[in-house]
Amino acid sequence: MSTERHHKTNPVYPNKKATTQMNTQKIADSIKNIAKEIHDGSFKMRKTVRILHQSGAISELTRAVYEASVAARDTAREIRDTANDLKRDDRIGGTAKAIRETSRAVRLTANTVKDMATETTQTPKVIMTRLPEWQWNGSHTQN
C-alpha cells in the first residue's frame, strides 16, 4: 500500500461568495471587460443591421414573410369555405349513404350466391368432349 496521503480539495461552488477573496481591482477589471464586450457586440450588431438594410435584404425578407403569411391565410380560408360548402350541400352525407347502400347490396348479392352454391350440391355428370356444332370428319377441322 502506498503511504501517499490524498489531500481533500474544497469544492468550488459558483453561488458561494468567492468575490471577497478577489481584490477590488480584479473585480473592476472584470466589469470593464464585460462592458467592453457588450459595447463591441452592440457595435457589430448595428453595423450588420445597417449593411443588411442597405443591401435590401431586410425588406426582401419582410416581403417574403408577408407573402407567405398571406398565402397561408388564403389557403386556410379556401379550405374552410370548401369544408362549409361540402357540409351545407350534404355531399359527404350523400357519399356515405351511397357507400352504405352499396355495401348492403354487396352483402345481399354475396348471400344470394352463397345460397345458390349450397342449394346446388350435385355436380354435373355430363362432360362434353366436343361442342354440338362441331362436326368431326377425321381431319380435326371445323366446317
DSSP-based three-state secondary structure for 43: helix
Q: For residues 18-44, give the mean pLDDT.
A: 85
DSSP structural state of residue 15: T
Among the listed residues 85, 87, 83, 84, the one whose alpha carbon sits nearest the alpha carbon of residue 96: 87
State pLDDT tens for residues 71-101: 999 999 999 998 888 878 777 778 888 999 9
Is the CB of residue 27 less than 8 Å from the CB of residue 19? Answer: yes
What is the percent of the chain where pLDDT is above 90?
Answer: 33
Rg of the chain over all Cα atoms, to the nearest angstrom: 45
| Dist. CA 94–CA 115, nearest whole Å | 32
**Percentage of the chain with pLDDT > 70?**
68
32 pLDDT above the threshold of 60: yes
pLDDT at position 4 over 60:
no
Mean pLDDT over 117-136 rounds to 58
The CA angle 13-16-18, to the nearest 5 degrees, is 100
Per-residue pLDDT at 10:
58
Least Cα distance to 21 among 10, 7, 36 occurs for: 10
The listed range with the strongest mean pLDDT (48-62, 80-94, 119-133) is: 48-62
**CA gap 45, 55 in Å, rounded:** 15
Side chain identity at residue 71, one-letter code: A
Answering whether pTM is above 0.75, one says no
